Structure 1
Amino acid sequence: MADVTLKSAVFRREREKTWQELDGIVTQIEKRGVRSLTPEQCHRLPLLYRATLSSLSVARSISLDRNVLDYLETLSTRAYFCVHGARGSLFGYLRNFLLVDFPAAVRAARWHLVVAALLLAGGILAGHALVIADSNWYHSIVPEGMAGGRTPDASAEDLSKILYDPPGENEAFLHVFASYLFTHNAGIGILCFGLGFALGIPVFLLMFYNGLMIGAMTGLHASKGLLPDFVGWLFVHGTTELLAVALCAAAGLVLGSAVALPGTHSRLENLRREGRRAARIVIGAVLLFLVAALLEGFARQLVTDMTARYSIGIVAGLLWAAYFGLAGVGRRDG
């Protein structure tokens, strides 16, 4: 009996620090969740878990006292659920993504977003100035399919009808149109993201050209005395859609800067690290494209009052600013 007690004391003294460290990490997870762990603790958790399982196996084989066995079995069970247990429901993942991961990734890429927004704004100003100076620029900038009858040859009355006429019996068309807008705009955004690895250069060109097209249209309507009307028509969905485009461009610039400026990491390693954050931004931007498509396909034509259109756009912009500025602050920024 004395020999078993001595073996138990020696066994416990040699391994107790490992058990205590694992116990501390498991307790922290149980109280505050896995996201409260530091990178070092995440690395140590599976190592400590395997070491504790090994201790439990040895303790059983040499028949140590029941107290040590009970403690190790309990600790191993608790650690098992931390390492291999249920990871949460789909709803839980979606909620965490929308309330923490997505806004945190956008805040971390805020300077890339600023650059993307400046490129878009520069294109808008350039396109507007070119069309105001010479309306022939409009045909060079805006594809015929996208113009939809909005050309310099159209009268102010015709352009006004496009901006204000209700859908009437064509409401079914709005459903198809919203679906088309979602897939088209999401495709452009993902293209910006996908080409980002080429040092971000294609992203610069795509954003500036998108701005040119919008600016050409504002210049056209300004020449007909309809600039406030067009901006209001665009504002309903534009604050959301242009934000989504800028987010995709920012994600592409994140990839480009990861390749161009790898820092202390290799380019491949830095691209892997930054690619995760960029992917979160793009996934969230696709959701914004969906919201924008619904606004563009339905609210923009169903709401014909200019004040209401401006109000919808401004409220949407303020809501997005509050969301990205406040959601999940302090939990996972950076």
Structure 2
Amino acid sequence: MADLQLKSHRFRAEREDDWRRLERLLDRAERSGVKKLRPAELLEIPVLYRQALSSLSVARSISLDQSLIDYLEALSARAYFFVYGARTNAWRRIGGFFRRDWPDAVRGLWRETLVATAIGVLAAVIAFGLVMREPDWFYSFVPPALASGREPHASTEFLRATLHGPAGQPGGQKDGLDVLATFLFTHNSQIALFAFAFGFAFCVLTAVLLLSNGAMLGAFLAVFAQHGLIVPAVGWLMIHGVTELFAVTLAGAAGLSIGWAVAFPGGRTRVDAAMHAGRRGAVVMAGVVVMLFCAALLEGFARQLVEADWARYAIAAATAALWGGYFYRPSRKASAR
């Protein structure tokens, strides 16, 4: 025991100055910032870090006192994050997400985005045609609780009032459409989350959700088309629907990418392929939350305040151009090539 204590004391005496030096440099960097360190001190930290790791390895191998091992572990962890960690603040991370990470992730899913768009459009077209041909098909696509008067047998005056009736009348037609808009937003938000979460099931459940969402949209528009109100109905919906439906499509694309990776992992294992697709999909989904928030603002303010059809279409076109330019503008790397 005495020999072990002597060995521990000698080990500490020989190397403690380097540990304390590293600790003081880290304290200064954490307290005052990296810019306060001189270039020579910055170069010194990685050397001292490797020495601390070596000391930790020796301390563990010869079973020195536990307090010394704990101290060296904490010191090595601090130095590791200084040497290898990303030294940036939260605002820079957020800026990098919007400037680079999110658009790059969306562009990387362009094939899945096209497939998700095709699924939703196909379902909407089929449902629209079925309801136009046989109005009772409407109840197969739209939940009964949602219809509440906005159904194939409603009068033209009633439906027109829901689109352009006076705002703010309790119990009026406009209030009824407000309930519809809230339901659609909640429904689309849930579809977006589930479409991504169910991607692991070989794309099947994600595709089903996209089909269901598109069919409900097509059936809803068919009701207004039967009464000659398709133009104002599309304008009312797209004022926030461009952002909202695009968010659902991107969530579906992220889910499809995971399902495809699980089904066809290529050279990776299925777990690795799913993790790779999931990391990119998670970035897309973080942006989808932002898009749904923007859609909620458009639904809560612009849709209430803008009554003219041409203005609604102008806002819809502007949001489409905004998202399209943001996600699919030529990247700097592509321009350099």
Q: Is the 8 A contact 2:168 2:175 kept in 1?
A: no
Match of 2:89 in 1: 89
- The one of 261, 266, 282 aligned to 1:263: 266
One-letter amino acid of the structure 1 residue matched with residue 304 of structure 2: Q
Provide the rounded CA distance (Å) in 2 between the counterparts of 1:177 and 1:221. Answer: 14
Deviation at 1:166, TM superposition (A): 3.7
Distance in 2 between the 1:201 and 1:229 partners? 34
Q: Which runs of 5+ in 2 are unaligned?
A: 1-33, 35-44, 56-77
Match for residue 247 of structure 2 among 244, 266, 269: 244
1:211 equivalent in structure 2: 214
Partner of 2:322: 319
- Provide the residue aligned with 1:102 in structure 2: 102
Counterpart residue type for residue 122 of structure 1: L
RCO higher in structure (CA 8 A, sep ≥6): 1
Contact between 1:103 and 1:328, CA under 8 Å: does it hold in 2? no
d(CA) in 2 for partners of 1:267, 1:105: 21
The equivalent of 2:121 in structure 1 is 121
Separation of aligned partners in 2, 1:248 and 1:128: 24
- Pairing 1:147-296 to 2, within 5 Å after superposition: 147-168=147-168, 183-296=186-299
For 1:8, the equivalent position in structure 2 comes to none
Q: Identity of aligned pairs, percent? A: 38
Q: Is 2:312 aligned against 1:309?
A: yes
Distance 1:243 1:143 in 2: 22
**TM-score of the superposition, structure 2-length normalised?**
0.71
> Could you tell me how far 1:222 is from its partner in structure 2?
1.0
Offset from partner CA, 1:93-131 (integer Å, 9 cap, x none): 211111111110000011000000000000110011001
Give the stretch that moved more between structures: 157-166 or 182-191: 182-191
Alignment partner of 1:168: what SS?
Answer: coil
Residue 168 of structure 1 deviates from its aligned partner by: 2.4
Cα–Cα, structure 1 residues 155 and 277, in superposed 2: closer, same or farther, change >3 Å? Answer: same
Matched residue count: 266
Distance between the aligned counterparts of 2:184 and 2:90, measured in 1? 27
Change (3 A) 1:177 1:297: farther
Q: Is the 8 A contact 2:163 2:177 kept in 1?
A: no
Q: Does residue 54 in structure 1 map to residue 48 in structure 2?
A: no
CA 1:213–1:176 in structure 2 vs 1: closer, same or farther (change >3 Å)?
closer
The amino acid that maps onto 1:272 is M
Contact 1:116/1:246 (<8 A) preserved: yes
Opposite residue 245 of structure 1, the aligned amino acid is V
TM-superposed CA distance for 1:203, in Å, is 1.1
Q: How far apart, CA to CA, are the structure 2 residues paired with 1:138 and 1:187?
A: 21
Aligned to 2:58: none
Contact 1:178 1:294 in 2 (8 A): no
The answer as to whether partners of 1:255 and 1:274 remain within 8 angstroms in 2 is yes
Please report how far the alpha carbon of residue 83 of structure 1 lies from its aligned counterpart in structure 2 after TM superposition: 1.8
Distance in 1 of aligned mates of 2:53 and 2:210: 60
TM-score normalised over the length of structure 1: 0.72
Q: 1:127·1:213 contact (CA, 8 Å) conserved in 2?
A: yes
Give the 3 Å change call, closer, same or farther, for CA 95–173 of structure 1 in structure 2: farther
What does residue 66 of structure 1 align with? none
Query: Deviations 1:283-329 (Å, cap 9, x if unpaired)?
Result: 11111111111212221132110000000000000000000013865
* Shift, 1:196, TM fit: 0.5
